[in-house]
Amino acid sequence: MRAIDPNTISERDNYKFLIGSIIPRPIAFVTSLSEEGVLNGAPFSYFNIVSSQPPMVSVSIQRSNGKQKDTARNIVNKKEFVIHIVDDQNVGQINQTAASLSPTESEIELASLTPMESRRINVPGIKEAKIRLECVLEHALELGGKNAQPGCDFLIGRVVQYHIEEEIYEDGRIDPRGLGAVSRLAGNDYAKIGENFTKERPK
């Protein structure tokens, strides 16, 4: 087995090693509002659950040369955002929102997504997602980087409202096949849910 010291390889090689190893990764499509009221939307696969009591989720947003991305800046300023689960029906449109736009342009308009008013926060979500999580910012941490410049913004959001499509929700459970969530691999590759199997946990 090959042994690699992460301090001896480039940032890009560390990135490729991590995204090729830690798979599949769930994808959060995050909407946020700029100070000017522009609805921003972008997908992130450094995303997961933090806690269920209270319900909290995390998104890590990488910086480019120390510069904060629009989504991170909007969330830190407004303290609100919406997370959507990316699925096999909306992944094409969501992929379009990864394009580099100026802060005054909306990825939602670019991808012809439909804004939906939120119930508990001011940031709209999108209609095309089967699951939406309205979130308020709980913690924002600047992590990593070189020469005193942070490498990413690690954001923890507390979920204040769930929205879920009726057809995939029954008796408190979500039908994974009906949700059709897709996950991120490396490069331009994604994965769908494949074979399911069950293993009982020891007592």
Q: pLDDT by residue (tens digit) across 20-59? A: 999 999 999 999 999 999 999 999 999 999 999 999 999 9
What share of the chain has pLDDT > 70, as a percent? 100
Is pLDDT at 69 greater than 90 in this prediction?
yes
Q: How does strand 115-116 pair with strand 131-143? A: unpaired
Query: Residue 108 and residue 43: Cα distance in Å, rounded?
Result: 12
For residue 9, the model assigns a pLDDT of 93
Chain segment 72-106, per-residue pLDDT in tens: 999 999 999 999 999 999 999 999 999 888 888 89
| Token reading at 113 | 């997504």
Is pLDDT at 175 greater than 80 in this prediction?
yes
Query: Residue 168 and residue 175: Cα distance in Å, rounded?
Result: 5
Which of the four pLDDT bands, split at 50, 70 and 90, describes residue 160? very high
Global pTM reads 0.94
Q: How does strand 28-33 pair with strand 39-44? A: antiparallel
Higher pLDDT, 50 or 196: 50
Q: Is the CB of residue 163 less than 8 Å from the CB of residue 120? A: no
Average pLDDT (63-75) is: 92
Most distant CA pair in the chain, distance: 54
* Phi-psi domain of 5 (left: phi exceeds 0; alpha: psi -120 through 50; beta: other): beta
Q: Is the CB of residue 90 less than 8 Å from the CB of residue 128? A: yes
CA atoms in the 13 A half-sphere facing the CB of 150: 15
Query: Residue 85 and residue 24: Cα distance in Å, rounded?
Result: 14
Chain segment 109-146, per-residue pLDDT in tens: 999 999 999 999 999 999 999 999 999 999 999 998 77
Residue bearing tokens 């005054």:
104
Which of the four pLDDT bands, split at 50, 70 and 90, describes residue 5? very high
Judge if the upstream peptide bond of residue 43 is cis by omega within 30 degrees of 0: no
Q: Is the CB of residue 137 less than 8 Å from the CB of residue 81? A: yes
The structural domains of the chain, with segments of one domain joined by +, span: 6-192
Query: Residue 98 and residue 181: Cα distance in Å, rounded?
Result: 18
For residue 145, the model assigns a pLDDT of 72
Is pLDDT at 147 greater than 80 in this prediction?
no
Closest C-alpha to 43, from 144, 142, 126: 126
Query: What homologous superfamily is domain 6-192 in, according to CATH?
Result: Electron Transport, Fmn-binding Protein; Chain A (2.30.110.10)
